[in-house]
Structure 1
Amino acid sequence: MSYLQIFCLVLLANIVLLVEANTYTNPIVPSSPDPWMTYYKGYYYFTATTGDNTVRIRKSKTLDGLKSAPQQIVFNDGLHNTWAPEFHQWNGRWYLYYTAGRTADIMTQRLHVAESAGDDPMGPYHFKADLVGSGDNTLEVDANLMTIKNKLYLLGAFNNNGQQHIFIKPMINPWTASAEKSFLAAPTMNWEKAGFPVNEAPEGLHHNNRTYVVYSASSCSTVDYSLGLLEFVGTDPLNAGHWHKFPQPIFRRSDRTHVYGPGHNGFFTSPNGQESWIVYHGNDKNTGNMCTKDGRTARAQKFTWNADGTPNFGEPQPAHVALTAPAGE
């Protein structure tokens, strides 16, 4: 074999390795309900509901590497049923939002926030504040921090007469509200009521000077748990009448790809800053309770934008199929 042939074989092998390194498969993390992640300074940082009283974060240089990345416990404040953690950066520190209860009774679930010691998403974190309003005496879950017109707002879900509704609250800073919560959205359409009337897990999303909230609808125990869309179309974010609810789900089960109950999502940007990505949980089985920890796995996929400016999440991608990794890996 000539030196040229050997060189070509080595080059081909390197190309194959490069292609393999730039793919990933779903699920990106097993047994991970309510996932949330971000890309920061060369790493993906991932968290989800763990099923115990801790918040754990894992990090990886590649999306596919999250599967085997070790989890680090970054916070445990001794409460019960720690759910749906998210961490957001503000003024050089990270603010970790989570749901937890004073007792094992889930109706005591409330929103709380912890603060990092520096600019490392892995912490350490210390307790900063409870986010319960003065008149609140009901379940509150799924905190999300977003900015609208350069002002901070806290989004979340609360129990209202046996239904799950979404609220919005103005914030002075990530741990201090300037007013009580305002109603934002309720399950009014049939596709939002499968199993139980639910609007929950709101996530802010911005694109080309337009502001959206993506939320989860119906009970997570059903195959029809899905994502809906609100758009801010007025001047006052605290006025529910200034938001438009789209009549159909924008992301739902796919019998073709065998993904059921997709929902409770987050958003992140590719390493090169050019691509929009969604992370969400889904289930590959369509029988029984979809809301179990082991059944719900974290999945990710790139999404695009429609000509009218709305997000296009496409169809949930199948499990165990090689997909192109985020640009810039």
Structure 2
Amino acid sequence: MTSNPTIARRGFLASSLAGAGALTIPGRSLAQACESELVINPLIFQRADPWVTRDGEGRYLFTASVPEYDRIILRRSDTLAGLSRAAEITLWHRPVSGRMGGHIWAPEIHQIGGRWCVYFAAGDADEVFRIRTYALACEGEDPMDDRWSVLGQLQAPWDSFCLDATSFQHRGTDYLCWAQHEPGIETNSNLYLAPLATPLTFAAPPLRLTVPTLDWEIQGYKVNEGPALLKHGDKLFLTYSASATDERYAVGMLTAHRDADLMDLASWAKSPVPVMTSAPDRCVFGPGHNSFTTDECGRDVMVFHARGYADIEGDPLYDPNRHTRVQHVRYDDQGIPVFNPPAGAGPLRYPSDV
């Protein structure tokens, strides 16, 4: 693993907190907060494209891309903070040759039809960037202890670059949202949405949700990827990431009403500006590819990756220091989520309006 001064700072911070006795956060004390542990950012080092969900017992499940791009990992913890030190297991390792033997990217764990599934993107051993979307399925009820096997390849509309599949349920229907290159459109990837018939097939033709056309979406690459759904009040918010994976990486957002037809493009409104961007004053660069969960109080939490520096040697894809961070989701007086500025290093603060 690449050494990083942030790790040393975190160790110093943790030891300082341990010896500080009762820690008081402005406006709250730990005794007043629901969390049993203080969350410290970065939460998990060298884990990009983080996905966090909670199981039926309220425990946190975490998976993400590893710097080697060679396997799918999983952690479980009773607390959000505990994910930082939770034991990490390997659910699946890429084969040494053939299909799925290339880059392994952006796993997400979901329960679909009562069964645990992991969506992930994989290249081939002899063509690592021939990225397609696949799924694993758990053969039992315990994702940490039971066996996992390859379920198959997503039956996407085209045999093309395809990644970042996420699933959500709304009004009794399971949906899949993913990123894919559509032949005939000069972009790297657009976002698509479809109801699921099975974890790998669709119940209706996909909807093209968004194409990267805005200036901030086409920096380095023309990319819309990494979708994640957040429900709040009477609205649905679908965040996504855009541009190259360096400090230009940023988060956008689509909004729909809860009662709208999600398969009607007119139901979705796209923000013309990014909703999360780099914050040099906080040493947060290239925030994105997020997921959403709740803390132990039931408050909405955004999980995302970012680097602590802007200068990268070589291809940013192979810089290992995209670290997992978390922050509470704030809402404005109209119920719209506010993600900027992204959380810097240190203890997670509690916004007064969460």
**SS of equivalent residue, structure 1 residue 23:** coil
Question: How far does residue 127 in structure 1 lie from its aligned partner after superposition?
Answer: 1.9
Question: How far does residue 195 in structure 1 lie from its aligned partner after superposition?
Answer: 1.3
Task: Provide the rounded CA distance (Å) in 1 between the counterparts of 2:322 and 2:20.
Answer: 36
| Superimposed CA distance per residue, residues 130-171 of structure 1 (whole angstroms, 9 cap, x where no aligned partner) | 1133x5121000000022332221111112334321111221
- Normalised by the length of structure 2, the TM-score is 0.80
Question: How far does residue 107 in structure 1 lie from its aligned partner after superposition?
Answer: 4.1
Equivalent residue number for residue 223 of structure 1: 247
**SS of equivalent residue, structure 2 residue 306:** strand
Is 1:25 the counterpart of 2:40 in the alignment? yes
Q: Structure 1 residues 13, 295: closer, same or farther in 2, change over 3 A?
A: closer
Equivalent residue number for residue 183 of structure 1: 208
Is 1:142 the counterpart of 2:164 in the alignment? yes
Question: How far does residue 81 in structure 1 lie from its aligned partner after superposition?
Answer: 1.3
Task: Provide the rounded CA distance (Å) in 2 between the counterparts of 1:268 and 1:232.
Answer: 19
Question: How far does residue 311 in structure 1 lie from its aligned partner after superposition?
Answer: 1.1
Is 1:56 the counterpart of 2:73 in the alignment? yes
Q: Which amino acid aligns with 1:48?
A: A
1:167 corresponds, among 192, 215, 222, to 192
Question: How far does residue 211 in structure 1 lie from its aligned partner after superposition?
Answer: 1.6
Is 1:278 the counterpart of 2:302 in the alignment? yes
Q: Which amino acid aligns with 1:166?
A: L
Task: Provide the rounded CA distance (Å) in 1 between the counterparts of 2:178 and 2:212.
Answer: 14
Equivalent residue number for residue 13 of structure 2: none
CA RMSD of aligned residues (A): 2.6
Task: Provide the rounded CA distance (Å) in 2 between the counterparts of 1:241 and 1:106.
Answer: 37
Task: Provide the rounded CA distance (Å) in 1 between the counterparts of 2:152 and 2:234.
Answer: 31
Task: Provide the rounded CA distance (Å) in 2 between the counterparts of 1:256 and 1:138.
Answer: 39
Equivalent residue number for residue 3 of structure 1: none
Task: Provide the rounded CA distance (Å) in 2 between the counterparts of 1:305 and 1:191.
Answer: 23
Gaps of 5+ in 2: 1-18
Q: Structure 1 residues 325, 32: closer, same or farther in 2, change over 3 A?
A: farther
Task: Provide the rounded CA distance (Å) in 2 between the counterparts of 1:230 and 1:13.
Answer: 43
After TM superposition, the structure 1 stretch with the greater mean CA deviation from structure 2, 59-68 or 296-305, is 59-68
After TM superposition, the structure 1 stretch with the greater mean CA deviation from structure 2, 246-255 or 235-244, is 235-244
**SS of equivalent residue, structure 1 residue 256:** helix
Is 1:84 the counterpart of 2:106 in the alignment? yes
Is 1:318 the counterpart of 2:344 in the alignment? yes
Number of residues of Structure 1 aligned to a counterpart in Structure 2? 311
Bigger radius of gyration among the two: 1
Task: Provide the rounded CA distance (Å) in 1 between the counterparts of 2:75 and 2:319.
Answer: 18
**SS of equivalent residue, structure 1 residue 266:** strand
Question: How far does residue 14 in structure 1 lie from its aligned partner after superposition?
Answer: 6.8
Task: Provide the rounded CA distance (Å) in 1 between the counterparts of 2:21 and 2:343.
Answer: 28
Task: Provide the rounded CA distance (Å) in 2 between the counterparts of 1:33 and 1:89.
Answer: 22
**SS of equivalent residue, structure 2 residue 216:** helix
1:249 corresponds, among 248, 256, 274, to 274
1:125 corresponds, among 148, 151, 167, to 148
Task: Provide the rounded CA distance (Å) in 2 between the counterparts of 1:13 and 1:254.
Answer: 29
Q: Which amino acid aligns with 1:47?
A: T
Structure 1 runs of 4+ aligned residues shifted over 4 Å read 12-21
Is 1:46 the counterpart of 2:62 in the alignment? yes
Gaps of 5+ in 1: 1-11
Question: How far does residue 89 in structure 1 lie from its aligned partner after superposition?
Answer: 1.6
Q: Which amino acid aligns with 1:184?
A: L
Task: Provide the rounded CA distance (Å) in 2 between the counterparts of 1:258 and 1:77.
Answer: 34
Equivalent residue number for residue 36 of structure 1: 51
Task: Provide the rounded CA distance (Å) in 2 between the counterparts of 1:307 and 1:104.
Answer: 52
- Normalised by the length of structure 1, the TM-score is 0.86
Task: Provide the rounded CA distance (Å) in 1 between the counterparts of 2:206 and 2:128.
Answer: 21
Is 1:307 the counterpart of 2:333 in the alignment? yes
**SS of equivalent residue, structure 1 residue 48:** strand
The equivalences for 1:290-305 within 5 A come to 290-305=316-331
Task: Provide the rounded CA distance (Å) in 2 between the counterparts of 1:29 and 1:286.
Answer: 19
Q: Structure 1 residues 113, 322: closer, same or farther in 2, change over 3 A?
A: same
Task: Provide the rounded CA distance (Å) in 2 between the counterparts of 1:181 and 1:91.
Answer: 20
